[in-house]
Amino acid sequence: MQLTTAELCTLAQGAVHTAVCGRFVTWHRFTEKQLAYYRKTSDFFYTRALASAGIRIECRTDATALSFDFRVKQASARDRYSFDLFVDGVMTDHYAMEGVSAEEGHVFFPLPEGTHRVTLYLPSLFGTELAHFTLTDATMIAPVTKSRRMLLLGDSITQGIDCRYTSQTYANLIADMLDASAVNQGVAGAPFDPAAIDSEIGFSPDIVTVAYGTNDYTKSPDRETMIKNANAFYRRVREAFPDAALFGLLPIWRADANAKPRPVGSFEEAKEIVRAAAEAVGATVLDGDGFVPHLPACFGDGHLHPNDFGFKFYADALFGAMRPYLI
Residues 187 and 133 occupy one common structural domain = no
Residues 133 and 210 occupy one common structural domain = no
What confidence tens digit (pLDDT) does each residue in 262-275 have? Answer: 999 999 999 999 99
C-alpha to C-alpha distance for 64 and 161, rounded to whole angstroms: 33
Give the angle subtended at the CA of 310 by the CAs of 308 and 312, to the nearest 5°.
75
Residue type, 302: G
| Total of domains in the chain | 2
What confidence tens digit (pLDDT) does each residue in 35-78 have? Answer: 999 999 999 999 999 999 999 999 999 999 999 999 999 999 99
Residues 126 and 213 occupy one common structural domain = no
C-alpha to C-alpha distance for 266 and 251, rounded to whole angstroms: 13
Catalogue the long-range contacts made by 286-289 (C-beta closer than 8 Å, 24 or more residues apart). 286/247, 286/248, 286/249, 286/250, 286/318, 286/321, 286/322, 287/250, 288/211, 288/249, 288/250, 288/251, 288/252, 288/253, 288/314, 288/318, 289/250, 289/252, 289/253
Residues 38 and 111 occupy one common structural domain = yes
* pTM, full prediction: 0.97
CATH code of the domain covering residue 209:
3.40.50.1110
Rounded to 10 deg, the angle between the 223-240 and 267-280 helix axes is 30
Average pLDDT over residues 315-321: 98
Residue 83 pLDDT level (bands cut at 50, 70, 90): very high
What confidence tens digit (pLDDT) does each residue in 125-150 have? Answer: 999 999 999 999 999 999 999 999 99
Residues 166 and 282 occupy one common structural domain = yes
